[in-house]
Each structure stands twice: as structure tokens, then as C-alpha cells.
């Protein structure tokens, strides 16, 4: 098998220090490839990049009918948030509206991703809770699925729990491919993660963007989730994050979501195109450069949108004194 192409490189001084290989694909809702590079049929774990697909179970199981989820709650169900006050408070309210609390979350606790939020927590002498977990909004959405289905919420993260079966079925439906036991792992927040080809993830995002190939309920759910995420981009990530800044700049035209280990997925909604990419070595900074270059090339950015993308396509590398000593830059897209 040929190696994937180099799509980003880290330069220190006048010398290339690291080269980052990867693959990407842009497709329309029929599965037609608009552009690609590298092995787009190799199965990869999408990690958090497909939270919006997983959240379709909320609509499948009529949790929205029972709880009348707000757009903020739907955005949080798609989020990898930074644990800022707005995130923590909204997830707590999300749970409270369903008669639940932080004790019902099974995602575990970690310090906020946002530096100021970490400092504030330490200054208060407090420990992080599961509300600070970047996946707590997604887990609140999964708890709503359990309640709507009338099944015990306890153990909802387990592969054989009815909630995870519903999530798996929703993802399979939208990507048009089975998620099989021989390509399954456990994500950082304890739920199952399933590997599928990059082309399948991109096709799923194109279908969600257009509704093409989806029944009415799934199409409406996909539009509601994309509208919620792009309408509340700060809830989806946080201050200074690529996902938030890109969705703010594109004002609903682009749905963008990253996942651990160098995965980036999304949709150029007005074109009806989905995209997916994977940085082979899992470097997140390199994957940001890659997806920024992809959107620069295919999303027809205006001057403001281009300025946002440019800051990620070429990112300065600084030493501990704050001096710029190099850059991470996209190549080959």
C-alpha cells in the first residue's frame, strides 16, 4: 500500500522538521467525489467529529418530542466544548430540564480545555466534574434518548445498551454502511467508536447537509442539528477554537467539527458537499492546517472567512519566550 501524501509540514527556522501525511475527500450527496487525496477507503475512527451524526438518535427516538430540546441543547449534543462557564451552565440546565443531574453523566471528569476556565476552577479550590468534560453535552443528549425510549439510563455508554444501539443505527443509516464489531473501540468519553472509510464519513455529512437519501425525519433532524451547531458555534467548541471561529465566520454555510487523533469532518452546506480528512499521525495542529487549506480551496471564502482560515493554514510555532521560530503549514491540498 502506498503511503498517504504529505499534507502539512512543520518548519523550524529554514528547515522542514516534521512532515504530516494524511488523506482527505470532498463528496456530494450522491457519493460523487469532488476532490480527494490519499487512501479514502481505509477505515478510520471518526472520534468526536461525528457527534452530529450520533445526535440523530435524539430524533430517531423522539426525544425532541418529549423534551422540546432547545437549539442550545442540540448544539451541545454536537459539541466538544471547552468547559467555559457558558458550557457548564448550559449542560447543567439541559440535565435539570430532564430531571437529571451531573451524577447521571457517565463520561468522567477532566479539567476544562480552556485555560482561563482551568485557572478559575483552581482559584476557587474546586475540582472538575463531569459537566466540564468536553463531551458532557453529547452525553446529556444520549440520556434524553434513554428517557424517551423508556429504558434504564444507567450504563448508557455500554456497547450493548439500547442507547448505543440507537446511536449506532443512526450513524449507519446516514453513512450508508454497516459499523462492524471487527472495527470498534472505546472513545475517550467511554462510548463506542466505530471505524469506517473517510469516504463514508464525508458522504454522511453531504447527506445531512442536503437531506438527499434520507427520510423526512432524518432530514429534518440533520437540518436542526446543523442549524443549532452553526447558530451557536461557541457552544460547539469554545474561545479561539477552529470549529467555533470557522462556523462564526461562515454564518451557517459551513458545518465544521474536529475529532481526536487528527480527524476533521464537516459540510459546505450551500454546495451540498461533505468532507472528511485524517492526519495519519494524529497531530491536531497539522489537521487544523489541513482542514483550513481544504476550506480555502473548496468553500469559496470571502475576505473575512479567508483571514480566519489563513491563521490556521499557516500557524506560527513559538518557543517558551514567545518568539516565533517556525510554522506549521498546509501543503498539497
d(Cα 278, Cα 22) in Å, to the nearest integer?
6
Which CATH number do you get for residue 162? 3.40.710
Closest Cα partner for 198 from 7, 65, 43, 56? 43
Range of the domain at 175: 6-330
Residue 182 located in a structural domain:
yes
CA distance readout (Å), 156 to 64, 98, 234, 270, 309:
18, 16, 27, 36, 38
Q: Is 90 exceeded by the pLDDT of residue 2?
A: no
Q: In the structure grid, which three cell numbers stand for residue 40, read together?
A: 479514502
Local confidence band at 173 (pLDDT 50, 70, 90 cut-offs):
very high
Residue 141 located in a structural domain:
yes
d(Cα 70, Cα 91) in Å, to the nearest integer?
12
d(Cα 244, Cα 79) in Å, to the nearest integer?
10
Read off the pLDDT of residues 83-94 as tens digits, 9 standing for 90 and up. 999 999 999 999
> Average pLDDT for residues 60-87, to the nearest whole number?
97
Local confidence band at 1 (pLDDT 50, 70, 90 cut-offs):
low
Read off the pLDDT of residues 99-130 as tens digits, 9 standing for 90 and up. 999 999 999 999 999 999 999 999 999 999 99
Query: For the chain, first and last CA: distance in Å?
Result: 21
d(Cα 60, Cα 76) in Å, to the nearest integer?
18
Q: Is 80 exceeded by the pLDDT of residue 188?
A: yes
d(Cα 122, Cα 128) in Å, to the nearest integer?
9
What is the CB neighbour count within 10 angstroms for residue 71?
Answer: 15
> Average pLDDT for residues 172-184, to the nearest whole number?
97
Cβ neighbors of 333 (< 8 A, separation 6 or more) are: 7, 24, 37, 290, 293, 294, 297
Residue 80 located in a structural domain:
yes
d(Cα 83, Cα 109) in Å, to the nearest integer?
11
d(Cα 19, Cα 61) in Å, to the nearest integer?
45
d(Cα 104, Cα 309) in Å, to the nearest integer?
38
* DSSP state for residue 330 in the 8-state scheme: E
* DSSP state for residue 190 in the 8-state scheme: S
> Average pLDDT for residues 125-152, to the nearest whole number?
98
d(Cα 107, Cα 156) in Å, to the nearest integer?
10
Residue 149 located in a structural domain:
yes
Residue 225 located in a structural domain:
yes
Residue 31 located in a structural domain:
yes
Mean pLDDT of the chain: 97
Res 35: pLDDT: 98
User: How many structural domains comprise the chain?
Assistant: 1
Local confidence band at 147 (pLDDT 50, 70, 90 cut-offs):
very high
CA distance readout (Å), 246 to 125, 153, 177, 260, 315:
34, 35, 29, 18, 15
With a threshold of 0.95, does the pTM exceed it? yes
Share of the chain above pLDDT 90, in %: 99
> Average pLDDT for residues 242-261, to the nearest whole number?
98
Alpha-carbon dihedral sign for residues 271, 249, 301, 280? negative
> Average pLDDT for residues 33-54, to the nearest whole number?
98
Residue 1 located in a structural domain:
no
Residue 63 located in a structural domain:
yes
Res 50: pLDDT: 98
What is the CB neighbour count within 10 angstroms for residue 245?
Answer: 20
DSSP H helical ranges for the chain: 51-54, 56-60, 63-67, 71-77, 85-97, 115-123, 136-149, 162-175, 198-210, 216-231, 233-236, 242-250, 284-298, 303-313
Amino acid at each position: 500500500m502506498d503511503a498517504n501524501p504529505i499534507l502539512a509540514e512543520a518548519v523550524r527556522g529554514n528547515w522542514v522538521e516534521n512532515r504530516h501525511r494524511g488523506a482527505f475527500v470532498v463528496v456530494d450527496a450522491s457519493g460523487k467525489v469532488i476532490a480527494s487525496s490519499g487512501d479514502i477507503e481505509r477505515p478510520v475512527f471518526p472520534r468526536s467529529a461525528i457527534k452530529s451524526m450520533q445526535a440523530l438518535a435524539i430524533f430517531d427516538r423522539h426525544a425532541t418530542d418529549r423534551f422540546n430540546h432547545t437549539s442550545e441543547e442540540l448544539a451541545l449534543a454536537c459539541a466538544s466544548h471547552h468547559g467555559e462557564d457558558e458550557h457548564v451552565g448550559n449542560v447543567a440546565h439541559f440535565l435539570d430540564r430532564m430531571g437529571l443531574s451531573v451524577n447521571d453523566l457517565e463520561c468522567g471528569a477532566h479539567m476544562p480545555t480552556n485555560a482561563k476556565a482551568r485557572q478559575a476552577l483552581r482559584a476557587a479550590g474546586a475540582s472538575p466534574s463531569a459537566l466540564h468534560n468536553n463531551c458532557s453535552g453529547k452525553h446529556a443528549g444520549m440520556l434524553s434518548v434513554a428517557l424517551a425510549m423508556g429504558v434504564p439510563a444507567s450504563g448508557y455508554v455500554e456497547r450493548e445498551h439500547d442507547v448505543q444501539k440507537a446511536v449506532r443505527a443512526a450513524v449507519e443509516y446516514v453513512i450508508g454502511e454497516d459499523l462492524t464489531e471487527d472495527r470498534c473501540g472505546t472513545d475517550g468519553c467511554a462510548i463506542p467508536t466505530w471505524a469506517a472509510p473517510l469516504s463514508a464519513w464525508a458522504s454522511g455529512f453531504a447527506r445531512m447537509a442536503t437531506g438527499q437519501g434520507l427520510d423526512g425525519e432524518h432530514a429534518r433532524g440533520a437540518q436542526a442539528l446543523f442549524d443549532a451547531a452553526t447558530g451557536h458555534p461557541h457552544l460547539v467548541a469554545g474561545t479561539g477554537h477552529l470549529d467555533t471561529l470557522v462556523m462564526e465566520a461562515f454564518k451557517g454555510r459551513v458545518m465544521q467539527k474536529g475529532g481526536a487523533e487528527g480527524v476533521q469532518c464537516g459540510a459546505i452546506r450551500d454546495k451540498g458537499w461533505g468532507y472528511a480528512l485524517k492526519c495519519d499521525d494524529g497531530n491536531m495542529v497539522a489537521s487544523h492546517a489541513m482542514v483550513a487549506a481544504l476550506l480555502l480551496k473548496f468553500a469559496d471564502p470571502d475576505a473575512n472567512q479567508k483571514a480566519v482560515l489563513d491563521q490556521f493554514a499557516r500557524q506560527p510555532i513559538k518557543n517558551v519566550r514567545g518568539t516565533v521560530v517556525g510554522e506549521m503549514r498546509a501543503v498539497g491540498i
